[in-house]
Structure 1
């Protein structure tokens, strides 16, 4: 009995030492996981546009406009970032193993469907190449400046009545607002959105999937491959087809990015000296 009691005491002491240690290690692991987890940007559904005409000071008006739209752009970009991380993980798995399991293929199919890409089952490497050009963020500074340009700083009829901040068209009768200056032989309308969030989401998808913006995606991919920052001024050349004004439109965007750079920095990175170019 003495031996049994002694053994029981040893076991209890061992547990008393081992259990707190394991709980401490588990706690540290959870804290580490929390720190490494991607930041989730939460923004509610926005269906009303502020009255930006109340600002008499131009800088105040710009600050208000960028502050209103920036969180929405950041939230939609965060969704793209998470999809890109998933895509990169799948690409690494395929490169390492030479194949994907059924669950991974289903994930790939979903991303490919979201970005209008046909999967080449016999050449997944090529599919990943196309997807990695498409599944990527658009610099916030570029999106904000384009929105300011296309919506007259949030005061246009299309922004106020259609929540359309990027001048996006649609081609089904009744799908949007008919432009006052539309030619008789034209049938397009300026699309109406159910929320500002949907307008931003549609703009990002348009940039990332439409053939007209392949050059922008190519320029962005080059920056990725070289490990350089993706800046708004580096991508504007890829927007030549966004406006009938062509080069003049690009020059105007570049000028707006430079002029409004300090305000955009204050909105996006108020405590940082880095530039969102």
Structure 2
């Protein structure tokens, strides 16, 4: 029900933007995601979670899986809902800009600049060509990751929430940082290596950082291309469609992707019990070419 509500609100926002492109459905969109506007203005919200359950107490594998997915699923859905809200705002402004390139307000331009900075995109209105390229690149990056893929990677990287990095650093995705003291030092780190496993203040922040990583890092360009192709064909974005773009996530490469694929197939029924998965992605009127702005 939670997931269906998110989708319905997203559809309503997109339709409203198409009908009345001069009206943005967020009063202060560039502040919303910095926590200035109360969380209830977001379509789906979740509490901030600062401690993981003890998943090791589950003796039965299926019980552990169900507990893990039921715990993490709503947090992933909430973070994806924020991205959906951002994408709806981007859709509205792109529609408005197409009708009249000079029609965007200072606030709306500021929000686009905020969004571009967050998603590491160079965005400029110097010319219509540069603006079109900026919108196209933002379109590829400001997008959700299927919950099944997020949950399976979290399970894989965190040993179902039982690893030291998960329990002590709330790091469910094996994300690194490179500033001394930013996380936990891996026991097997080489003498010349400087990375640490990043420590997060909340599970929510771990999920948020992972989504941003997949949506911005050059290593996952292929994944974003695969997702964009599905979007342009009005196809459903599924976890198995995107795993070929994750070869660089692990030094194991193909073997890692094959392991993820196997986990997706085996665990999909359990995940489906925890939450709805893989939504339709048709977005009429918002299809700047994915070839117009190479990353």
How far is the alpha carbon of 1:113 from its aligned partner? 1.4
CA distance in 2, matches of 1:63, 1:56: 12
1:175-190 equivalence runs, <5 A: 175-190=182-197
Partner of 1:90: 93
Structure whose alpha-carbon radius of gyration is higher: 1
CA distance in 2, matches of 1:92, 1:42: 27
Counterpart among 134, 139, 156 of residue 163 in structure 2: 156
CA distance in 2, matches of 1:37, 1:213: 29
CA distance in 1, matches of 2:134, 2:51: 39
Structure 1 window deviating more from structure 2 (237-246 vs 115-124): it is 115-124
Structure 1 vs Structure 2 CA RMSD: 1.9
Does the Cα contact within 8 Å between 1:141 and 1:276 map onto a contact in 2? no
How far is the alpha carbon of 1:120 from its aligned partner? 2.5
TM-score, normalization by structure 2: 0.78
Partner of 1:235: 242
CA distance in 2, matches of 1:68, 1:187: 33
CA distance in 2, matches of 1:72, 1:144: 10
Partner of 1:206: 213
The size of the alignment, in residue pairs, is 240
How far is the alpha carbon of 1:36 from its aligned partner? 4.2
Partner of 1:51: 54
Partner of 2:178: 171
CA distance in 2, matches of 1:218, 1:276: 18
TM-score, normalization by structure 1: 0.83
Q: Which protein has greater RCO, CA pairs closer than 8 Å, 6+ apart?
A: 2
How far is the alpha carbon of 1:41 from its aligned partner? 1.6
| 2:87 maps to 1:80 | no
Does the Cα contact within 8 Å between 2:49 and 2:204 map onto a contact in 1? yes
Counterpart among 107, 125, 134 of residue 103 in structure 1: 107
Bigger share in helix: 1
**Any idea what the Cα deviations from partners look like across 1:187-210, whole Å, max 9, x if unmatched?**
100000000000000000001111
How far is the alpha carbon of 1:102 from its aligned partner? 2.1
| 2:151 maps to 1:144 | yes
Partner of 2:26: none
Does the Cα contact within 8 Å between 1:120 and 1:127 map onto a contact in 2? yes
Runs (5+) with no aligned partner, structure 2: 1-8, 15-41, 281-295
**Any idea what the Cα deviations from partners look like across 1:236-255, whole Å, max 9, x if unmatched?**
01111100000000000000
How far is the alpha carbon of 1:58 from its aligned partner? 0.6
Q: Tell me: CA distance 1:276–1:102, structure 2 relative to 1, closer, same or farther (3 Å).
A: closer
How far is the alpha carbon of 1:37 from its aligned partner? 6.5
How far is the alpha carbon of 1:103 from its aligned partner? 2.6
Q: Secondary structure at the match of 1:241?
A: helix
Instruction: Spell out structure 1 runs of 4+ moving beyond 6 A.
Output: 274-277
Q: Tell me: CA distance 1:92–1:276, structure 2 relative to 1, closer, same or farther (3 Å).
A: closer
Runs (5+) with no aligned partner, structure 1: 1-32
